[in-house]
Homo-oligomer: A and B are copies of this chain.
Amino acid sequence: MEKKLQTVRANNLKQKPEPDKLGFGKYFTDHMFVMDYEVDKGWYNPRITPYQPITLDPASMIFHYGQSVFEGLKAYRTEDDEILLFRPDKNMERMNRSNDRLSIPAIDEEQVLDYLIELIDLERDWVPNSEGTSLYIRPFIIATERNLRVAPAHSYKFLIILSPVGSYYPEGIHPVGIYVEDEFTRAVRGGTGTAKTGGNYSASYNAQEKASGNGQSQVLWLDALEKKYIEEVGSMNVFFKINGEVITPALSGSILEGITRMSIIEMLKDWGHTVVERKISIDEVFAAYDKGELEEVFGTGTAAVISPVGELQWKEKTIIINNRETGDLAKKLYNNITGIQTGKLADPYGWTIKVKEKVTKQGN
């Protein structure tokens, strides 16, 4: 089995977009990583190729039964022009947990991380350097077998594509409004909620439209069983600061195991805060508000890092949190996490990995 990475370079490199026009996931770099899977070969033929379309038979399983997983992480440019990754090993671990849930064959986490690093190294000029920008990394696996039977595929493709992305907060971090969804469901115990698989995301669009219709920018998901306990915000995890204590929903089997979530819990504990992972109901949050004890609410995820919540609408009631301002704790967490990610602050936790420059530059 050939496991050695083969590289075919693009003949013509693209013009890089202006840093203030990046947005999210609109532009892609010159190269991508691809490898294939067949039952009798395992994962094979790892290669870096020019960024290019995929050609698939219309009967390929990905088009019919949604057998797919993905990951999302970022590469950051430091002031010294080093390229840093933030806990990429955790993304590889989670990808294999997602693979397990979707009956997709496991990847070799260390090996794939090496391939990913080689790709980033080749594309290091694509990592933008403006405040808040980064290179978004999207590894994903799709079932490619050409067959309509309802069963795990016998062939897959694993790809990594890269997209330079703009600042989530071009005008500085600011709070968003959230609509508490009590009809649609994101995920349930025994379902696929902990996996990063496509179906979870398209399943959320109806609720997102409803939130927008209510003038709010994101959805807060309640548990499917009782429509009572808080699960996530949009595609982020969520934290509540109540009377000095930080509370986040415990991983219940239907909540995504966020790597930013995990990092924030570790950081808060390191700072001496009380952090509790437990069930928290929407009633409890509204009751805390009524008692004047709801100090801060914020979402956490790779895209925004920290997304403060300024307004929470549940049925006919809307509450304003912290006078619609970013709370001190959210601000401190944002500055510290992004500081570590971009190398501006020391990394006492060993979370960042430097992408060493080893690819020999060609021509131009």
Contacts and interface: CB of A to CB of B under 8 A. Distances in A.
A14 interface: no
User: Copies per complex?
Assistant: 2
A79 to B, nearest CB: 27
B199 A152 contact: no
Contact of A147 (B25, B52, B147, B186): B25
A186 B189 CA distance: 10
Interface of A is mostly: loop
Contact of A54 (B56, B136, B205): B56
A148 B138 contact: yes
Interface in A181-204: 183-192, 197-204
A65 B24 contact: no
A66 to B, nearest CB: 3
A28 interface: yes
Contacts of A190: 183-185, 224
Interface in A61-95: 62-68, 70
A205 to B, nearest CB: 4
Contact of A65 (B54, B56, B201): B201
A286 interface: no
A150 B234 CA distance: 10
Interface in A177-231: 183-192, 197-206, 208-209, 224-225
Interface residues of A, number: 65
B64 A70 contact: yes
A172 interface: no
Contact of A206 (B51, B101, B163, B208): B101
A270 B184 CA distance: 36
B57 A55 contact: no
Contacts of A63: 54, 62, 68, 140, 142, 198
A197 B1 CA distance: 36
A24 B184 CA distance: 34
Contacts of A183: 190
Contacts of A59: 25, 28, 138, 161, 163
A64 B140 contact: yes
B225 A64 contact: no
Given A150-B201, A191-B224, 15 more contacts: A25-B148, A52-B58, A54-B58, A62-B62, A62-B198, A65-B198, A66-B198, A66-B202, A67-B198, A103-B206, A143-B202, A185-B191, A190-B224, A199-B199, A199-B202
Interface of A: 24-26, 28, 32, 51-59, 62-68, 70, 101-103, 136, 138, 140, 142-143, 147-152, 159, 161, 163, 183-192, 197-206, 208-209, 224-225, 234-235
8 contacts: A25-B147, A53-B55, A54-B58, A58-B161, A136-B148, A152-B209, A189-B224, A197-B199
